[in-house]
Structure 1
Amino acid sequence: MAVPFSLTSAAGPEAAQSARQGIAAWAVTAACLIVFMGIGVVDPILPEIGHQLGATPTQVELLFTTYLGVMAVMTLFAGNIGTRLGRRRVALIGLGLIGLFALACGLSGSIPALAVFRGGWGLGSALFTPTALVLLLALIGHAEKAIMRYEAAIGLGMSMGPLLGGVLGSHGWRFPFLGAAALMLLALVAVAVFVRVPESREPARPVGDVFRAYRHPAFLAVGLTGLLYYFGFFLLLGYTPLFLHLSTLGLGLTFFGWGLLLGLGSTLLAERLLHRVRASRIVLGSLAGLTLLFVLLGFAPLAGGVKIALVVLSGTLFGLMNALLTTLSVEVAHLPRATATSAYNFLRWLGAAAAPVTSGFVAEHLGAPVPYAFGAVAVALAVGIMALAARPIDAARASDPHVH
């Protein structure tokens, strides 16, 4: 009987540790889902906020731009903050800030106040979002699986957020913000209770290391593609609610369907294609499809129902692109993951921040369809960059030992 006992006792701690890591990974995943619900929850209520507060499209779009602009700047420092304070602690601080500023948004009464509080919300997201990916990479251990889990949480969050915003927003634009604050509290508790990870002992890296990451041609190409692509992504997400002229609940249902396909594209479709087709070819095909989408949305003589269907179906391509670019940013950099994620996130959120306020301004001065021309041009430029850099990107990915 001594032998089985020794085997059990040897295997027991390993099994328990694996179970704890599994639970912790799911807690982080759930928190990611809730955080990205907070992004989409605003979507259906943008027209109602503009109506109730007498705001122009440009002013309404500030709710996205301040959020994303703060995220872009703060991601430069998120890696070092995580190294100094500990990833778990930074994740908790980020969740706490999101909940606090979501509550402040629900209690505010003017566009300037909402814009400022959304900036604070962006600060919390900037601390949590890259930290969550690093935590998942550490807890799961396999880069591709961790990224797929992360992107699945984003997709589900992006789908459930607009639905929550549409249902609660049909009773008043403040309720989605208050609902988001309550959900952030749940996410905070889940991470505090279940997540325990050994903290990295690596020294904090100068912020300059983030910019030196752009010396790698393949990584720079992925980052610039991300900048242009996310301009298009957030132009669709931020401006389309003003363009479609649907009810709050109608917008919620539209972007719920879009988000479901976003999750499908970023998980099942991305995983299958990455094992069968070169990554650069998938990116090129997806970007070409999105270029056509923006042209059709803005300028094709299509019925409203057809345009709604196009928006919903585009979620598949957007989800596929999200997963592909995040995967490539980790695999072609050959850098510490915290540095790579900070460098990539800075560029993608910079492009994202420019889209909403640009679309609002262009719509006011040049006409409602014209922002989609800007989206088409941005994504077409991304096609050009990817076409020129396809070979070094595929070579850099193939040389990453984590891919095989």
Structure 2
Amino acid sequence: MSTPSLPRPATSTESLDARRTLAGWAITAACLIAFMGIGVVDPILPEIGHQLGATPTQVELLFTTYLGVMAVMTLFAGNIGARLGRRRVALIGLALIAAFALACGLSGSIPALAVFRGGWGLGSALFTPTALVLLLALIGHAERAIMRYEAAIGLGMSMGPLLGGVLGSHSWRYPFFGAAGLMILALIAVATLVRVPETRDPARPISDVFRAYTNPAFLAVGVTGLLYYFGFFLLLGYTPLFLHLNTLGLGLTFFGWGLLLGLGSTRIAGHLLHTRRASHIVLASLLGLTVLFALLGFAPFSVGVKVALVVVSGTLFGLMNATLTTLSVEVGHLPRAVSISAYNFLRWLGAAAAPVSSGLIAEHLGAPVPYAVGAAAVAIAALLVAVMGRRIDTGRATDPHVH
């Protein structure tokens, strides 16, 4: 009679791999919740404007202060992470997001909301690039880590408006309280599950970030990101004021948009990046978005058709997000923290300009005109990629981390 074999005890290597896997999923979940914070205000923008007597431009400050602080602080996030350790900076960022989300829910004026959203942006600036660096280190494979990061963005972008729509139909304050509670859960998850050893990298001067722009291919990717994210946040920040839907209707619209954003940034992007030249993917997507903005602003479609256009556009936006983030890491042949900081600075700069400028343009030139500006921005980006596409593809093909 044979003796039953006992389970083989896990080796130290298997145990370490399991901890790294668990830590990676904890960071992914925290990214998802953090990016819910961007979209959670989307459905409640019209209601905030109505309740607080604010103009479209004033309401759009809730996006602009958030994104403007993110853009500037991105320049310093890498060095802060190097000095304090990535895990510690991620925890500080999550704590700041939770605190300022709570403060937003307790505030009673547009200036206060704008200031607290700026503080929220500070937390996001510390957490989001640090989270990508952590995922790259934990997963090891750059493309796989980026796809997971972009999937978390997509799901967060879809769930944020849904949360905002459901809670905001009762009070515009409730989505902020909901976001604060979720961020506290994310903070607890990262604090307890991410137990990778803290590392102290040498701090790099800020000039290293700007030196990254001397690489023509990387600069082309960065400027493309700046112009593209202007269009991205024009759609995200201005469309709720343009469609004139109720709070729940806006939440459901951007929930569908976010689901397709996640699909575009994972399955579709993952397939196309292995079968097509990256510059061709970006060029085709930008041309599609140019047409989309023109149709949204000026085609004599019903509101229902324009809602469908917004939802379907999530696929192109998700594809662009994943492809540009991949290119930013691979094209420059730079330390990843430098690449991420240099690219994020430009893309969040473009994003910060979109909401408040769209409000101003709409007030002075008419409601559809912001979409003409968005179409022009992504069309210029398409022209840049058409000119620089070969250099971008060559830079990616020669990166030692690709495949």
TM-score by length of 1: 0.97
C-alpha separation in 2, matches of 1:298 and 1:377? 12
Amino acid in the other structure paired with 2:344: N
1:4-403 matched pairs, under 5 angstroms? 12-403=11-402
Identical-pair percentage? 81
Q: Which runs of 5+ in 1 are unaligned?
A: none
Amino acid in the other structure paired with 1:361: L
C-alpha separation in 1, matches of 2:370 and 2:281? 26
Question: After superposition, what is the alpha-carbon deviation per residue over 1:285-338, rounded to whole angstroms, capped at 9, x for unaligned?
Answer: 000000000000001111111100000000000000000000000000111000
C-alpha separation in 1, matches of 2:65 and 2:79? 23
C-alpha separation in 1, matches of 2:198 and 2:147? 23
SS at 1:246's partner residue? coil
Q: CA deviation at 1:400?
A: 0.7
| Alpha-carbon contact 2:85-2:200 (below 8 Å) kept | no
Amino acid in the other structure paired with 1:185: I
Superposition CA RMSD, Å: 1.2
C-alpha separation in 2, matches of 1:304 and 1:166? 18
Amino acid in the other structure paired with 1:257: G
C-alpha separation in 1, matches of 2:106 and 2:200? 41
Amino acid in the other structure paired with 2:37: G
C-alpha separation in 2, matches of 1:349 and 1:203? 25
Amino acid in the other structure paired with 2:376: V
C-alpha separation in 2, matches of 1:168 and 1:125? 22
C-alpha separation in 2, matches of 1:221 and 1:200? 32
SS at 1:302's partner residue? coil
Q: CA deviation at 1:197?
A: 2.0
Question: After superposition, what is the alpha-carbon deviation per residue over 1:43-83, rounded to whole angstroms, capped at 9, x for unaligned?
Answer: 00000000000000000000000000000000000000000
SS at 1:275's partner residue? helix
C-alpha separation in 1, matches of 2:197 and 2:388? 37
C-alpha separation in 1, matches of 2:388 and 2:211? 19
Q: CA deviation at 1:202?
A: 2.9
C-alpha separation in 2, matches of 1:66 and 1:37? 17
Amino acid in the other structure paired with 2:113: L
Amino acid in the other structure paired with 1:321: M
C-alpha separation in 2, matches of 1:305 and 1:250? 11
C-alpha separation in 2, matches of 1:85 and 1:384? 41
Q: CA deviation at 1:238?
A: 0.0
C-alpha separation in 1, matches of 2:175 and 2:70? 21
C-alpha separation in 2, matches of 1:201 and 1:236? 39
Moved more, 98-107 or 189-198: 189-198
| Alpha-carbon contact 2:48-2:172 (below 8 Å) kept | yes
C-alpha separation in 2, matches of 1:220 and 1:231? 17
Q: CA deviation at 1:87?
A: 0.2
Amino acid in the other structure paired with 1:316: T
Amino acid in the other structure paired with 1:258: W
Q: Which runs of 5+ in 2 are unaligned?
A: none
| Alpha-carbon contact 2:48-2:54 (below 8 Å) kept | yes
Amino acid in the other structure paired with 2:310: V
TM-score by length of 2: 0.98
